[in-house]
Structure 1
């Protein structure tokens, strides 16, 4: 597996970039922030109410303990049955009102967080998929599909943990901690200092564990991508696996990848749980010391029972947000590691597209001038000084053994790859001078490995021509010899053909691809071994459709079966990236060179097969 190595961004840079993705939704963020603030304020308020609750219900001088701003409410509520003291409903009423307010603000803040999280997932997935569609073919050559799918399906969800969930918890719990500490300082600053002494130790633990979790999450993303790759290969290669008895091998291969994911998940849990345990230990030590000294101060008359209760309540409630913040660090590091993966894909360089010359409908003349090309990490050129002119409307067949360069040469036309040296011209215009969309509009492709989509027959034929009328689609299907089998399908043109067209035969897939090319009506046609995997009956129908498709078009035919290209205007024979012979079929046979040798070899193979 090849993975792009990029400099690791700092946590701050990654987090700021996540937040920039949310900038368009700043109004929702502001409302969520206000709701979170209000919800956070309710916790220290509840702790503070414990003081009046104790003093009003357990003190002989209850009225003296009513805070001034509560006195109007105390006077309004009915007093005790004996007519002495304040109403016993005062503090309970405030507690109920406080929790109703807390429920409303918490509901709104959680709704806003969920809305923002899902919007962030949608935006990032859309950006990633659009970037995938714009990446060069070389990217797919070096990045397994499983890793790519894992990034879009899995990593994006983890980013929201850093983008929204962590931000919500961070804001709410930080405000809660500040509020509780302020209340504790107000009640007794000496006892509060005891708690503050232990906070740096908790912060140091959280920081160290965060670094460990960040590394583990990077490894888990890689492991998850490896597991997805094995799964994808198992699904798409299930026929080969069954025939060759590879079930046990594939099961063991998957177990190895899945077990690696499990091991890393356990390591993350151990690191996170260890950190939480340490934080809880520090809090318990602080609580024990505070309870001891608070008892001494209360016995000495320096602290009322209500103040003691408020202080202890605030301290106990302080432990929950502190623990949540320590656990939040796990989500933050996981989200930041995922953000590295997500933004790494979004930042991948797209296909070079600087052409500005317009071209409405090409005539179809192609010129290759000393074209060279070498794949990355290859030890020799796949194309070596290729020079060839293909006239408009001419059919030229490229033949040669495996690795001769014929498919590579054809792939340079739509600029799936760019030539390392030399020039390729269309109607005298260098391909690099044309925008990619303009260039590819002039080209249709029919290959052995037909790419169909899990959609209707009509949608697959009209792919790239969404405005095509039903009549035009039908005419293209008829010209491709596909209408006969289409009309026998359950819903005709509206039949869903399945994943990669798996509900159709090989010949039917090819005829749909030909119908798609016919509907596009491009002046240049590339046929990449379009009939090599078909039986005789299917080949006859497909070949007939191809002959209609090739009329009045410049056609490059990559062929393995030489019998299918006898009618080509010229045949180009390639060996090790070079052109060794060019000419029509009969002339090349009479010459007795490389083409004649290929012909004899195939004729003998066919003779022995019969």
Structure 2
């Protein structure tokens, strides 16, 4: 959040209204309908004069007929135009929310990996799910109130001026005071709205973690701790809402007090005028009706400050998110017939805010079709190194090349089309088995292709034994499957993609012996005729690799085959000895 800057209210409005530009005809219809509906209010107040003077004072029978009929006609016009206004406003609001949500989701898919590293998922989700709805208050709901009530106020004030301008000046005298109150309170409300968005994000984060980590919560008895965290987050939201309500109510109360004082004076002087004969009964009734009708729209206009500041704070949050830089993709080259040679040339990398470099001057060339295993203790830089290949991160210095081309000279889409990834933390979607495997290939995929990929991944047997076979819904992240089954689905997905470069990030480290054998067999099918980089925890799984690269503290310290490294009696031999002793 520290990277985000405040945006002026005017700039926010310009950006919000830009989304309504394609629907300007509906917008115009909405404005016209609300203007007509607003104009009926001063017209109703004006009808009081002929109704009272003609019908009651002068005993004119025609006034008692046409004036009530005119009132019915006014309310008929008002009902029709209000319906058109409500319908068009809701339609435009829906279009605005949908357009913003879709643009934010598209932005979400194009953000660099380090954005996700530095921003909690709860805050990201609350922006798309919660903040966007509040934007409509700054976008169109406020416009509706401002235009409709503004026209009503303008019409009623004009009627008051026409009826008696001297009395009306008393009413207008309170406007500067109201303006100052609205401005002071508006700043306070906007700050509270920003804080509330943070609180909602925190609540979403805690809720998501409690759901995702429910097994850990249960087994370690964390129910009370999580409940207390949730209570604190919910309490913060409650306090903030009370503060917003109190601030808004105080603003409304003070404003209404000044307006009431002005109205009291007006009533006093109007009664004095009527008593002296300068005011007819119709004039007084028309003035009194307009004055009373003026109270409600002025109240709504002064109260709209809370909705406005909430909306502006939300719009600021949304547009700060939309202004985040996407992944840099200046590459023009589109890959064809990739051989799979990967070269790291003097590559160094630093994570933002880290005390030491994750990689230091790494030089490594992997030949086409070669299987290279990366081993080393946790934090040695293995995962960071392979994360540079699909350009999840950019090197701080040096360059990574594929078939002699620097990765940043290759289109990101083209680069990633030629890379498949299978990791220890398998990511599956709450969809069918078929859809999860087919995810590995863009464009149309035949059922037979999916079946063949499943067979090669040793997954066909367990899939066919599932209740609905390939059409079975596997649950969120495959919760209905075992670890080995999830892993084999990920391998089937990679097989279907058929990419020339394959990254295996500890793909078997969390499996039991039987599952590991099945997965290892599937991996052997997957690794055929591909350039493969394997991050391995169990050294027994990479003994047949063409080369083994040993890393320590971001640097390569040993390279060789399994036999060569054992013979050299270095770090790899020590790691192998420790694991061999532990497995006895």
The TM tier, using the shorter chain, reads over 0.9
Quick one: distance in 2 between partners of 1:163 and 1:116? 10
Tell me if 1:597 matches 2:582: no
8 Å contact from structure 1 (residues 150, 225) kept in 2: yes
Q: Normalised by the size of structure 2, how large is the TM-score?
A: 0.99
Residues 337-372 of structure 1 deviation map (CA, whole Å, 9 limit, x = unaligned): 001100011000000100001212310011111111
8 Å contact from structure 1 (residues 456, 493) kept in 2: yes
1:87 is displaced (CA, Å) by 5.6
* Aligned position for 2:415: 439
* Aligned position for 1:387: 363
Tell me if 1:158 matches 2:134: yes
Choose which of 298, 301, 326 in structure 2 pairs with 1:322: 298
* Aligned position for 1:223: 199
Choose which of 143, 152, 159 in structure 2 pairs with 1:167: 143
After the TM superposition, which of the residue ranges 85-94 and 463-472 deviates more from structure 2? 85-94
Residues 394-439 of structure 1 deviation map (CA, whole Å, 9 limit, x = unaligned): 0000000000000000000000001111111101111010000010
* Aligned position for 1:25: 23
* Aligned position for 1:467: 444
1:5 is displaced (CA, Å) by 2.6
8 Å contact from structure 2 (residues 5, 320) kept in 1: no
1:7 is displaced (CA, Å) by 2.7
Quick one: distance in 1 between partners of 2:62 and 2:565? 114
Q: Normalised by the size of structure 1, how large is the TM-score?
A: 0.95
Stretches (4+) displaced over 6 A: none
Quick one: distance in 2 between partners of 1:447 and 1:267? 47
Quick one: distance in 2 between partners of 1:360 and 1:260? 55
Quick one: distance in 2 between partners of 1:16 and 1:45? 34
Tell me if 1:367 matches 2:343: yes
Quick one: distance in 2 between partners of 1:300 and 1:61? 22
8 Å contact from structure 2 (residues 424, 510) kept in 1: yes
List aligned pairs for 1:37-48, cutoff 5 A: 37-48=35-46
1:61 is displaced (CA, Å) by 5.2
Quick one: distance in 2 between partners of 1:143 and 1:374? 18
* Aligned position for 1:570: 547
8 Å contact from structure 2 (residues 349, 360) kept in 1: yes
1:42 is displaced (CA, Å) by 0.5
Q: Secondary structure at the match of 2:362?
A: strand
Residues 21-75 of structure 1 deviation map (CA, whole Å, 9 limit, x = unaligned): 211111110111111110110010011111111112211353xxxxxxxxxxxxx
8 Å contact from structure 1 (residues 36, 168) kept in 2: yes
Choose which of 57, 69, 77 in structure 2 pairs with 1:101: 77
Q: Secondary structure at the match of 1:89?
A: helix
Quick one: distance in 2 between partners of 1:137 and 1:474? 33
Quick one: distance in 2 between partners of 1:53 and 1:275? 38
Q: Secondary structure at the match of 2:461?
A: helix
Residues 171-198 of structure 1 deviation map (CA, whole Å, 9 limit, x = unaligned): 0000100000000011110110110011
1:6 is displaced (CA, Å) by 2.7
Segments of 5+ residues of structure 1 without an aligned counterpart are 63-84
Choose which of 237, 252, 259 in structure 2 pairs with 1:261: 237
Choose which of 32, 35, 41 in structure 1 pairs with 2:33: 35
1:10 is displaced (CA, Å) by 1.2
* Aligned position for 1:12: 10
* Aligned position for 2:382: 406
After the TM superposition, which of the residue ranges 10-19 and 394-403 deviates more from structure 2? 10-19
Q: 1:484 to 1:466 in 2, by over 3 A?
A: farther
Q: Secondary structure at the match of 2:173?
A: helix
After the TM superposition, which of the residue ranges 98-107 and 88-97 deviates more from structure 2? 88-97
8 Å contact from structure 2 (residues 122, 208) kept in 1: yes
* Aligned position for 1:111: 87
Quick one: distance in 2 between partners of 1:501 and 1:166? 45
1:89 is displaced (CA, Å) by 2.3
* Aligned position for 1:273: 249
* Aligned position for 1:76: none
Question: How many pairs are equivalent?
Answer: 583
Segments of 5+ residues of structure 2 without an aligned counterpart are none
* Aligned position for 1:585: 562
* Aligned position for 1:212: 188
List aligned pairs for 1:454-493, cutoff 5 A: 454-463=430-439, 464-493=441-470
List aligned pairs for 1:171-190, cutoff 5 A: 171-190=147-166
Q: Secondary structure at the match of 2:62?
A: coil
Residues 199-225 of structure 1 deviation map (CA, whole Å, 9 limit, x = unaligned): 111111111111110111011111111
